[in-house]
Structure 1
């Protein structure tokens, strides 16, 4: 049984993140029933929704999102969420929110980094646990299936993916690119990134700049792509030439894993439909990687989110054995992309 939240006819604004667990923050609730979030049986997690009051807009900003007044599931009261930072930069509208440990939700005790006007989640951290039960965990399954060597993270955020890889794989070296220096500073102040840098000074390197120009000597063994702007996958990812360039930056037998979004993605520009942009991105990748392209879908047909993986599908049993037990079920979720 899922939580049921009734909004009492109030205007509310839906923020659609890119993470596979349901979360909804409503201004007022009448009913809140217990919910079960179990991965028993290896059932895929669902996409989340996070509802917060909208930012104040000035005349130069994008139009307000359309209000959502329909009833939705899996709610968490606004009193269990605290905003601890919010400000605008050249590239982003940045918010950091904290979910109370008392909240009856898998994200209880977490901090979330929200970027852009719709407020898509770009990083998450917990005080007392490493895994996130989100697509960041899927990213953390990449190291066992790539050759030894550095991993590039394009779209570093506050460091959620880097933390997982550095902690789970002691030999890993991470190079991360982030366009907005303020995002990295927020990571250092609120998400433990500064501590991570001190802990792994020879394994973690962060660069400020255009991630599509990322390169290192001798190339990457693996590349993780998580590039969104204004609530949408950046347009360059719908261009096959972009994937040709990234492919050339790989070492022999290297792979790319990509957050390609999906229906759950809400862009500032309503013309950038999440499902359509995802499909265009996968088609662009297919032109470059052909049959060596696989897709993992999180959620359901109505509100899905997907990841893509390049290269031949590896030996699944060997892949599982190389992963922590709590990540092994993701291996069986990959399917060939047929265009």
Structure 2
């Protein structure tokens, strides 16, 4: 259980409101991290899963061994920048030392929910993350002109990457927790992105499933989790039918479907089965036009989904920078 301070960010206007600059001040006392990361090794044909597991402090006699293990990141390389409880989340912001030999070295991580699943990541000196966010960054290359919705903005990782790679993009980001948006601005460079791309990024606080614009979205990125799992509404075909109705003709959806790599707060829930239920609901709503991209291995699997007919892989690759092109070859048709 987190020792937390209560941060209240309330908006009293419409249920879905544009999020303006907040007056939130971050906690002043930094707390020593006692978190160890699951071993993550970057491979070209798969991405490291974003998951953190808590570690129990070891006996003093094992201090040297505990401070450097093969199973995670030593505590000395992790700094806690913020730790508190909002109305919707247990929020932690961690900074990983650049001195560490690890894929996440030099990053900041946003952890939500009690198990500590990572919801956003940002590096100081590089854009790509080595995670599923890089796949999201390939999405605008197959969309027609028009606004792109991000349902589940988090601290703004996907929005930041897309606007830096596609400066003419128009992003509409939806996040239920105003405190998460504040954290994004304070620690993840979201305020800088808003200033640099004024008129290109619009942030709303409220129910992301109500996202809409007058002429429809050219695409939607869906990354909606609560208590460690994909939200239950996404296991219902009618939810996807409603989201599809807010797309322009030819519009697409790219979805983080989770999997066994995520750790639910409720031990009775299974991330892998929820992933499959989500895919089945999408398959029904989009009439069998769903492709999947598998990440990880059989024990720690997860996947992304893409709606619509499979794009021309040659044209898709040509529209991407070279470091993103290998993701195109990872997509496969979904089969129940």
TM-score range, shorter chain: 0.7 to 0.9
Alignment correspondent of 1:20: none
Q: Tell me what 2:250 maps to.
A: 253
List structure 1 segments (4+ residues) > 4 angstroms apart after TM superposition.
none
Query: Counterpart of 1:204?
Result: 201
Q: TM-score, normalised by structure 2?
A: 0.83
State whether structure 2 residue 113 is matched by structure 1 residue 125. Answer: no
Cα 1:94–1:241 change in 2 (3 A) is same
1:331 equivalent to 2:333? Answer no
**Deviations along 1:177-233, whole A, 9 cap, x unmatched?**
000000000000000111111111110000000000011110000000000011111
- SS of 1:269's partner is coil
Residue number in structure 2 paired with 1:45: 47
Q: Which whole-Å CA distance do the structure 2 matches of 1:274 and 1:73 have between them?
A: 26
Partner in structure 2 of residue 8 of structure 1: none
User: Which residue is 2:231 aligned to?
Assistant: 234
Instruction: Measure, in 2, the Cα distance between the counterparts of 1:300 and 1:81.
Output: 27
- Secondary structure of the residue that 1:282 maps to in structure 2? helix
Q: 1:76 aligns with which of 73, 76, 90?
A: 73
* Paired residues of 2:48 and 2:131 also in contact (CA < 8 A): no
Per-residue deviation, residues 44-71 of structure 1 (Å, max 9, x unmatched): 23424423358xxxxxxxxxxxxxxxxx
- Quote the offset at 1:37 in angstroms: 3.8
Q: Distance in 1 between matches of 2:302 and 2:77?
A: 26
- 2:111 alignment partner, one of 110, 114, 139: 114
Q: Distance in 1 between matches of 2:74 and 2:120?
A: 21
Instruction: Map Cα deviations across residues 67-101 of structure 1 (whole Å, 9 max, x no partner).
Output: xxxxx955221211111100001100000000000
Distance in 1 (CA, whole Å) between partners of 2:170 and 2:208 is 17
Shift of 1:237: 0.2
Partner of 2:73, secondary structure, is strand
Within 1, Cα distance between the matches of 2:109 and 2:196? Answer: 22
1:25-54, CA deviations, whole angstroms, 9 ceiling, x for partnerless residues? 549xxxx9xx97453xxx223424423358
Structure-2 separation of matches of 1:190 and 1:332: 34
In structure 1, C-alpha distance between the alignment counterparts of 2:162 and 2:293, rounded to whole Å? 19
CA distance in 1, matches of 2:182, 2:47: 31
**CA deviation map 1:99-123 (0-9, x unaligned):** 0001110110000000011111110
Where do 5+ consecutive residues of structure 1 fail to align?
A: 1-23, 55-71
Using the size of structure 1 for normalisation, the TM-score is: 0.82
Give the aligned partner of residue 306 of structure 1: 303
Instruction: State the Cα distance separating 1:146 from its structure 2 match.
Output: 1.1
From 292, 296, 313, the equivalent of 1:295 is 292
Aligned partner of residue 131 in structure 1, secondary structure: coil
Q: Gapped runs of 5+ residues in structure 2? A: 1-33, 57-68
Q: Secondary structure at the match of 2:279?
A: helix
User: Are 1:168 and 2:165 counterparts?
Assistant: yes
Aligned-partner SS, 2:218? strand
Moved more, 43-52 or 253-262: 43-52
3-state SS of 1:261 partner: coil
Q: How many residues align?
A: 290
Partner of 1:154: 151
Aligned-residue Cα RMSD (Å) equals: 1.8
* 1-structure distance, mates of 2:243, 2:222: 10
CA distance in 1, matches of 2:220, 2:328: 18
Shift of 1:265: 1.0
